[in-house]
Amino acid sequence: MFSIQNYTVESLANQFGTPLYVYDGNKIEEQIGKMRKAYEGTNLKLKYACKALTNINIMKLMRKNGVDIDVVSTQEAHLAILAGYEPHQIQYTPSGVAFSEVQEAVALGLRMNLDSLPLLEKFGQIYGSSLPICLRINPHIMEGGTIKISTGHKDSKFGISIEQADEIYEVVKKYGLRVVGLHQHTGSDFKNAHVIIEAAEKLFELAYKYFPNLEFIDLGSGFKVAYKEDDHITDMEKLGKGVVKVFNEFCEKYGKEVELWFEPGKFLVSECGYLLARANVVKHNPGRNFVGVDSGLNHLIRPMMYDAYHEIVNGSNPDGEEKEKYDIVGYICETDTFGKDRTIPVVNEGDIIVIKNAGAYGFSMASNYNSRFRPAEALVYNGEVHLIRKRETMEDILKNQVMLEL
Ligand SMILES: *Cc1c(COP(=O)(O)O)cnc(C)c1O
């Protein structure tokens, strides 16, 4: 039987029902430890990109481990504050938001990361030199697993083009803006570790030329994690060695010990998460077998949206000798495949199917499509299990609908 720490998936499914997201809190701590180790010898600050998994208890766990937060909306900032963060521990990295939201973020006391020239101009007009800011630079590097999740290339909407450095500087001078950080985020799942060094070097050049008062350089995230065995992943230790070397050389030349920031999402929470679903039906069609489970793209959209591969296990019988090839599909009324042609131990109706690496961009991208409830979430931590989000009910589905007398 497949277990998460000391809990079998059957016992978790029986206690909380299915579909169910389960997170292993100790795995998150391991990942934090790996990052800290990889960047030893620098003044490292970790910011958890909480859009990956926004349950408030996960944020609390990050806080307990000394990890700050990166948010992309003021709503996420409110959650972080509820999780106990001080506003100055929250970096706000929006993309193309209304200026009113930027003002709200300022009022909350968040650290600002600005991503366009028009925004910089407006910000300058209103706040001048009164607030420290960070600039999100687009270094024009094509990376990231697919074009859908790549953010640092020339045609990406993100950041201020590095080719507009002179224009940035004009605005900064005009309003006396206090630039204390430079940021880049190349996109998720980059394959070549050296791109982050390439991007870093572009930021260093900007720093030398225009920004003498930096407090930090933020190298974003995009670390690739293993979704299947022998997947090409970011070797954090090796990458760390390379980054530490160029970063320390930068600090020396710059004449100041600046902080090195990263804002990982997936790297911290992907592997900790499992989506548990029950096999509703096992269907043997001519030429193809299907396992239909009580979940779907409404709960985990990555396979359909990004063609993401998630390892799938028959949690009720993970080591069974007798195997069969299946497509594992959801219960949504459109094509809704979690995994194709997976050879796993024979599945019987009622078995618990475990979809791995479901911690990042799983629940946080879930919807009520087909008017299905979103799953419950449970956290296993130090050998104890806690419910951290209740399953939805019909009330949640109806909450904001306005009933007319028709
Ligand atoms: C989404 C996001 C991240 C996290 O990316 P991962 O690939 O999940 O690590 C980091 N920084 C910014 C600005 C983001 O938008």
405 within domain boundaries: no
Same domain, 53 and 8: no
- Residue 285 and residue 143 share a domain: no
Catalytic residue among 50, 134, 251, 333: 333
32 is a domain residue: no
CB 276 within 8 A of CB 18: yes
Are both 345 and 233 inside the same structural domain? no
- For range 132-158, the mean pLDDT: 72
Model confidence at 156, pLDDT cuts 50, 70, 90, reads: confident
Report the distance separating Cα 393 and Cα 372, nearest Å. 9
Is position 112 within any domain? yes
Rg from Cα positions in the chain: 23
Among residues 269, 294, 327, which one ends one of the domains?
Answer: 269
Residues in Cβ contact with 142 at an 8 Å cutoff, skipping those fewer than 6 apart: 150, 152, 153, 154
pLDDT of residue 227: 80
The CA–CA distances, whole Å, from 355 to 9, 12, 322 equal 11, 14, 20
**Is there a contact between 375 and 366 (Cβ–Cβ < 8 Å)?**
yes
> Residue 196 C-alpha to ligand 1 middle, in angstroms?
14
Q: Ligand 1: distance of its center to the CA of 286 in Å?
A: 43
Q: What is the mean pLDDT of residues 367-390?
A: 98
Q: What is the dihedral of CA 310, 315, 318, 322, to 10 degrees?
A: -100
Q: Is 152 in the pocket of ligand 1 (CB under 6 A)?
A: no
In terms of DSSP H, where are the helices of 157-235? 165-175, 194-210
Check pocket membership of 218 for ligand 1, CB cut-off 6 A.
no
Asked whether the beta carbons of 215 and 170 are under 8 A apart, the reply is no
Over range 322-338, report the average pLDDT. 97
The total number of structural domains in the chain stands at: 2
Q: How do residues 75-109 score in pLDDT, each as one tens digit?
A: 999 999 999 999 999 999 999 899 999 999 999 99
Residue 137 Cβ contacting ligand 1 at under 6 Å: no
104 and 67 inside one domain? yes
Q: Does residue 33 sit within a domain? A: no
In a domain, 213, yes or no: yes
Are 120 and 210 in the same domain? yes
Mutate which of 188, 239, 364 for ligand 1? The one with the most ligand atoms within 8 Å of its CB, which is 188
What domain range is 381 assigned to? 3-21+272-398
- Ligand 1: which atom is nearest the Cα of residue 188? 7
- Read off the amino acid at residue 275: L
**Is 222 touching ligand 1 by the criterion CB < 6 Å?**
yes
Same domain, 223 and 123: yes
pLDDT at 87: 98
Is residue 222 a known part of a binding site? yes
Using CA positions, which residue lies closest to atom 1 of ligand 1?
Answer: 49
Ligand 1 contacts CB of residue 240 (under 6 A): no
The answer to whether 114 and 96 have CB atoms below 8 angstroms apart is no
- C-beta separation of 368 from 394 below 8 A: no
Shared domain for 280 and 257, answered yes or no, is no
My answer on whether 234 and 304 are in the same domain is no
Q: Tell me, yes or no, whether 73 and 201 share the same domain.
A: yes
Q: Where residue 299 sits, what CATH number does that domain have?
A: 2.40.37.10
Give kind and range of the element (H or E) at residue 353: strand 352-356
Q: Which residues contact 400 (CB under 8 A, 6 or more apart)?
A: none
Are 196 and 226 members of one domain? yes
- Alpha-carbon gap, residue 133 to 91, rounded angstroms: 10
Confirm or deny that 302 is annotated as ligand binding. Answer: yes
Asked if residue 341 and residue 225 are part of one domain, the reply reads: no
Whether residue 381 is annotated as binding a ligand: the answer is: no
d(CA 261, CA 134): 12
* Nearest atom of ligand 1 to the alpha carbon of 151: 15
Decide: 73 in ligand 1 pocket, CB within 6 A.
no
Between 25-38 and 56-64, two packed helices, what is the crossing angle to 10 degrees?
Answer: 40
- What percent of the chain clears pLDDT 70, i.e. is strictly above it? 95
Whether residues 109 and 232 share a domain: the answer is yes
- Measured distance CA(120)–CA(388) in Å, rounded: 39
136 marked as binding residue: no
Residue 138 Cα to ligand 1 middle (Å): 14
Report the interhelical angle of 194-210 vs 165-175 (nearest 10°). Answer: 40
Evaluate whether residue 191 is within a structural domain.
yes
| Of 209, 238, 269, the domain-final residue | 269
Specify whether the backbone of 141 is left (phi greater than 0), alpha (psi in -120 to 50) or beta. beta
Q: Does the N-terminal peptide bond of residue 303 adopt cis geometry, omega within 30 degrees of 0?
A: no
pLDDT tens-digit readout, 187-229 = 666 667 778 888 999 999 999 999 999 999 999 998 888 787 7
Residue 361 lies in a domain: yes
CATH number at residue 45: 3.20.20.10
Residue that finishes a domain, picked among 238, 269, 300: 269
Using the predicted structure, report yes or no on whether residue 147 has a pLDDT greater than 60: no
In a domain, 289, yes or no: yes
